[in-house]
Structure 1
Amino acid sequence: MKISASNHIQRSAVFSAVLLSMASASFAQPTPVENEPEIVKEGTDWLGRVSYIQRFSLPDLTINRLYLYNSQVYHVFGGAGGVTEPISLRVRCRVPPNGLVQLPHCEPVASPGSAAAQAFNAVTISYENWPEIPRLRLLKRWSGTDAEEKKWALYRQVEFDLNVPAITVPDVDLAAGKIVEVSALRERARTFREVIENYPIRALREDRQANLEAHCQIQGDLSIICDEVNSDPPEDLRYFEPTFREAMLKTKANATLADGSDARGVRFRVVFPYRLRQR
């Protein structure tokens, strides 16, 4: 069977068009929908995919009131007393595929230790302080398909200015106040149970256990500040102290001691036995 030159040219053209369409599909890239910011090529991500980024911006968000324990304020600002200045800080957040931006996705656009970074730390101690961020579009496809060997990935960010009000810093003197035995604290088992149950992941993974000794003071709002923390064995302090301090930031004491006297201002020593459960 003979094939004419014209038929050969036509078939070649069709074949080339198919190859071109396949190539275009193989190297497809994300495109923005109407009224969304442009998508810009950034480079290559850690998986070797071509990365694209889309940056959104929102109007200012304002926190009218912060809900903080004295211990939490002390954790960020210390206990010298005074009032911080209201501040507006820039925040950048990663937008997950579902479009719902939450606290762990965000960080301040500020240098560590700056007033803006401190204000952000104060805000993020509690989810109760975090403002509601408008939900962005659900992203059904954020990377190349398996057929495309996942050659690209789309990363989305959103930025906004966060207005934080003035924060009252308590005047704390951890050397003042009468010293009581921990047994004088009412319902201490319930008060401290969550601290013990919140076992550090790294310590759990490495089969570490320790006795953590803490010297603490009950504040006027019944929050607890533990200034001196030691560990037995000493070398395991780094495994337990961060998790312990984080848990104590959410802990409050009872208003009265076992004898009915006021618990505010008293100091006590307590030992937290972190023990691995038998497997």
Structure 2
Amino acid sequence: MTDMQYDWTFDSPAGGRQVDVLGDTQGATAAIQSLITDSAGEPPAIPVPADCLVTLPAGLVREDRTITEAEVRELNGNDEIALARVRSNPLRLLETLLELGTVRIGDMAASSDVLPQLLLGDRDTLVIAIRRVTFGDEMEFAEIICPTCGDDFSATISLGAIEYQKAEASRLTVPLRKGGCAIVRFPTGADQAAMLANPKATNAEHNSILLARCLVEIRDDHGNVKPGSEDLATSLGLADRRAILTQLAANQPGPRLLELSIEHEACGGEVPLPLSVADLFRDF
């Protein structure tokens, strides 16, 4: 019987080389290892699906840049269990939903430290994106009452039809009834949590907490400035308090959920269909 000779040729920058795998086992092993090392590279990057990427209307300010890109993901059964455990607490439900469904804000993990820093409109934007990537773009509504003809009907809306308002400025200047102005900033998730921390608080108390946190300063007609505080927020007249809260709501960057409307095809009437964040996940 003739001896069998195996010749293996390995690619290398210097050209192929032949190794006798029976006569030089160490050399063959070294050659194979060299081939693996030379051919190994960075693993291919897996692109993020387009529907998982979100552009925040305001974004998170970090030093000299504003981060507006975020990534969300589809909710699964484990997430449903976690959400069901906190469904009796609307604030905790919202926080849990954001923590589970948001992957990152820019290059930062979407942690319980980062998410509360986002403006309310940015948080609403993330909730809508999580809803769309989990259940799809369409939402069905039944027993809608048309204010024009009085009939009730069912309709399907597209979440993609929701209009968004971008941030024109980080602060608002609101004229006061007796002169001067209030300088206020838009509320964040942390402000919302502080406002709703006491479930027994009245709406007036909620408003005072929010104003105390978002009121930067009061300027009178003579240039005098009073820094914002809880006492200053509660000492404002009712008309001024309402004016500030109205301007914050009207100019808040983010989805205009309360301005959504649909057409009743039977009569052609325009039907207001204001949504809340809770409506987006009403099944929970």
Specify if TM > 0.5: no
Pairwise TM-score range, normalised by the shorter structure: under 0.3
TM-score (norm 2): 0.24
**Higher share of residues assigned helix:** 2
